[in-house]
Structure 1
């Protein structure tokens, strides 16, 4: 695990975008997984700017969705897909054939898990994965207690995720579950970039780096990834646990 600390969120976002652009330059047909959420938005906006300036070309990349709230799709305000379409896919006119997402409105979510698992098994593994970090240490919607050998699965959301997740919506949403890539697919990815910003992430960041590897903090498994980069801003990189 290589840890980089940047002065602020803007520097974190630009640095991460540069890393991704350089990777795509080396492997233009890569399979990429981009987290949604608030933290990746700055990175996505820099990537759009770089592509519009013809510094990177995503025309032959393929994109696999990381996760989604059950019952939502790209038209749902606050959904993962809505964020990625608004901030990345639509501005760059990414073709639908390049995008492989869970259909979280499906009546058969287990079939959706199998469909995405089969795609990754056939075409993958994922080359480059951009992850955020939950305050409870989750990756995607892999909640505390997750099986580290899991593939794509439907997950019961922790109360922390239900509470924190409200920030994505204009009005309160009843979040009934999630569908997500599994820890196994994260660990099989060739390169993982995890980004974290803000003091509210400092506890999880500290435990990610210095704690034991445990499924009670899913992100701790990244200690065992062979090519993982953790990019932090100063607020997220506090060297001691809050209160110590």
Structure 2
């Protein structure tokens, strides 16, 4: 893993956006794996700035998102499809037909999961996969378990994840309890991986992620198996590394 430690969230967002922009500039039809949540919002804002400044062209770019809640329509304000449209796609020149998010309303969930992995394969794989990390070590919605799924799958969310996500909903009861998510194997097949983390609340799990010990109890440790992973984290998130 290559670890870049920056001062704060804003610098993390700028550095991460520049890192992703390099992939877009090098390959104008790149396949970008994207993530949702509060951490990448600043990164997306920086990409929008680069587009408006004429630095980036998204017209031939394809995107693949990590996950989606089961049961939410794409126009629901808390769906990940809505998030991506609102935070990025509506503000750049991307063809939304080339932006993929798992269908949480699919009648046949297993078929949707199989087809999602087939779509990634047909596109030639993901050139760069953006990741955040949960306080419990989850990446995408791969939660701590005795065993982890390799491919895209239906998963239940842990109570800690439900509680963390409840800040986006009016009540805890409204938070979906299941989601469709890329599996660890799907993520690890990406050509490059970029993980961003910010804040003292992520310090403990970031230290575990880079500790050298791989365990399904901290799914992010699986990233140690990939040959091209870059972490861009702020000082607060890095404070427990090597301690």
Secondary structure of the structure 2 residue equivalent to 1:125: coil
Asked if 1:128 corresponds to 2:134, the answer is no
**Structure 1, 68-77 or 200-209: larger mean CA deviation:** 68-77
Q: Deviations over 1:30-60 (max 9, x none)?
A: 1111101000000000001101111011111
Asked if 1:67 corresponds to 2:74, the answer is no
> Residue 124 of structure 1: CA displacement?
2.5
> Residue 99 of structure 1: CA displacement?
1.1
Is contact 1:127–1:190 with CA below 8 Å preserved after alignment?
yes
> Residue 95 of structure 1: CA displacement?
1.6
Which residue of structure 2 aligns with residue 238 of structure 1? 239
Secondary structure of the structure 2 residue equivalent to 1:229: strand
> Residue 92 of structure 1: CA displacement?
1.2
Structure-2 separation of matches of 1:231 and 1:85:
24
> Residue 239 of structure 1: CA displacement?
2.2
Which residue of structure 1 aligns with residue 91 of structure 2? 91
Structure-2 separation of matches of 1:168 and 1:231:
25
Which residue of structure 2 aligns with residue 180 of structure 1? 181
Structure-2 separation of matches of 1:18 and 1:240:
24
**Structure 1, 113-122 or 189-198: larger mean CA deviation:** 113-122
Q: Deviations over 1:98-156 (max 9, x none)?
A: 11221101222111101111111222311111100000100100111174551100001
> Residue 171 of structure 1: CA displacement?
3.9
Structure-1 separation of matches of 2:76 and 2:204:
31
Q: What TM-score does the superposition give when structure 1 sets the normalisation length?
A: 0.94
Structure-1 separation of matches of 2:210 and 2:54:
36
Asked if 1:42 corresponds to 2:42, the answer is yes
Backbone CA RMSD of aligned residues? 1.6
Asked if 1:7 corresponds to 2:10, the answer is no
Secondary structure of the structure 2 residue equivalent to 1:39: coil
Asked if 1:32 corresponds to 2:32, the answer is yes
Q: Deviations over 1:41-80 (max 9, x none)?
A: 0000000110111101111110111101111133112222
Is contact 2:154–2:179 with CA below 8 Å preserved after alignment?
yes
Is contact 1:125–1:188 with CA below 8 Å preserved after alignment?
yes
Which residue of structure 2 aligns with residue 190 of structure 1? 191
**Structure 1, 140-149 or 178-187: larger mean CA deviation:** 140-149
Which residue of structure 2 aligns with residue 207 of structure 1? 208
Is contact 1:70–1:177 with CA below 8 Å preserved after alignment?
yes
> Residue 94 of structure 1: CA displacement?
2.3
Structure-2 separation of matches of 1:211 and 1:162:
28
> Residue 169 of structure 1: CA displacement?
2.2
Which residue of structure 1 aligns with residue 116 of structure 2? 116
**Structure 1, 91-100 or 108-117: larger mean CA deviation:** 91-100
Structure-2 separation of matches of 1:146 and 1:34:
26
Structure 2: gaps (5+ residues): none
Which residue of structure 2 aligns with residue 58 of structure 1? 58
Structure-2 separation of matches of 1:217 and 1:34:
21
